[in-house]
């Protein structure tokens, strides 16, 4: 359910961009939500796969590592929260 919600947030941000409405708030919302969902989902996958998921050659390990990087690179989650807050007039 969260993956589908993240997908629709991304579609909406992309649609707004295509319409010429470069809405930073919507892009930040999509990026923040999708990266946080990716960390939760891949964390669950790590739990399900147990010890084998921690082996560096495991695809699950790579997915988790890549998902975690999404919350750090291209704007940390905290920065995305600030962008969203400014976009709705909180800061």
The string of pLDDT tens digits covering residues 32-52 is 999 999 999 999 999 999 888
2 has catalytic annotation: no
Which of these is catalytic: 2, 26, 74, 81?
Answer: 74
Structural domains in the chain, sorted by start: 2-87 (1.20.140.10)
**pLDDT beyond 80 at 91:** no
User: Which H/E stretch holds residue 43?
Assistant: helix 24-49
**pLDDT beyond 80 at 9:** yes
Indicate the pTM of the whole model: 0.81
Confirm if 49 and 60 have CB atoms less than 8 A apart.
Answer: yes
pLDDT > 70 in the chain, percent: 98
Confirm if 26 and 12 have CB atoms less than 8 A apart.
Answer: yes
The string of pLDDT tens digits covering residues 63-83 is 998 998 888 877 788 888 888
User: Which H/E stretch holds residue 7?
Assistant: helix 2-18
């Amino acid at each position: 359910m969260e993956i589908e919600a993240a997908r629709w947030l991304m579609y909406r941000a992309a649609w707004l961009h295509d319409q010429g409405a470069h809405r930073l708030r919507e892009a930040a919302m999509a990026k923040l939500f999708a990266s946080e969902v990716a960390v939760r989902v891949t964390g669950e996958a790590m739990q399900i796969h147990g010890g084998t998921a921690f082996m560096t050659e495991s695809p699950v390990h790579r997915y988790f590592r890549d998902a975690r990087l999404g919350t750090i690179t291209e704007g940390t989650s905290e920065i995305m929260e600030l962008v969203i807050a400014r976009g709705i007039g909180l800061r």
